[in-house]
Structures are given as structure tokens and as C-alpha cells.
Amino acid sequence: MGIKKIEDGDQEYTITELVKDETPRGFGIIMFEDRYGQKCSIQDSSLATECAIWFGIDNTGPQLEGPSGQRNEQIGARMHLTQAMVKQILPILKEFAKTGFIANVKLK
């Protein structure tokens, strides 16, 4: 896994190798590195109530305080996104992939 630069005419792009695997519990996971070489992944969630994925940096460093406000509750550094949330942000990512910017995205 790693990042590399490719050239396309006058343009130079940084891309990452995508590695598909399974977690020890049998969930699909795609691993990659971000622009700074941080290990990241997109992983199927075991959430029983709706379809969801884990998405983001796999860093096990500093943890964030949990949403319920309970003392010592911690969550990881990755985002937990439902299918509806991904549908909501997908047009933003598509616009960025197309133009390189999100400034012209119109939010509903």
C-alpha cells in the first residue's frame, strides 16, 4: 500500500493504492493511504438497524469524547456514515473529483 505520483500530460496527480480485504469478523474493508501517508479505510459496519460504513483515518492515537456525554466514553477517529449520509455527501465528492473544488456545490 502506498501513494505515488503519476503524470498525465502537463498535470501531475497523487494517487493511492486501494487494497480490498476482510476484517477478522468478515466485513468488507478497503484500505488506502491519504496524501500524508496516513493509513485509512472504508469498512462495512456491523450496525444492525441500517446500512453504514466506517470511513477515515485508522489512527489509534488520540480518541474523541463520545456523543452521549458519559465520562470516559471514547470513539475512534473514523466517521460512521449511514447509506443516506453517503448519498448526501456523494455529490460534493463528485464535484471535487470533476473540478478540484467544492466552492460551487449547491447544498439543498
Q: Is residue 65 part of a domain?
A: yes
For residue 107, tell me if it sits in a domain.
no
14 in any annotated domain: yes
Is 48 within a domain?
Answer: yes
Q: What is the pTM of this model?
A: 0.72
pLDDT of residue 71: 58
Report the candidate in 30, 27, 8 with the shortest Cα–Cα distance to residue 16: 30
Domain that holds residue 68: 3-83
9 in a structural domain: yes
Within a domain: residue 20?
yes
User: Is 32 among the domain residues?
Assistant: yes
What is the structure's pLDDT at 4? 77
* pLDDT tens for the chain, residues 1 to 108: 777 778 878 877 787 888 999 999 999 999 998 887 888 999 999 999 999 999 998 876 665 566 666 655 555 678 888 998 999 999 999 998 888 888 888 887
How many independent structural domains does the chain possess?
Answer: 1
Please state whether beta strands 79-82 and 39-44 pair in parallel, antiparallel, or not at all (unpaired).
Answer: unpaired
* 25 in Cβ contact with 44 (< 8 Å): no
Number of other residues whose CB lies within 10 A of the CB of residue 48: 6
What is the reported pLDDT for 41? 92
> What DSSP state is assigned to residue 92?
H
99 in a structural domain:
no
Question: Under the phi-then-psi rule, with left for phi > 0, alpha for psi from -120 to 50, and beta for the rest, what region is 53?
Answer: beta
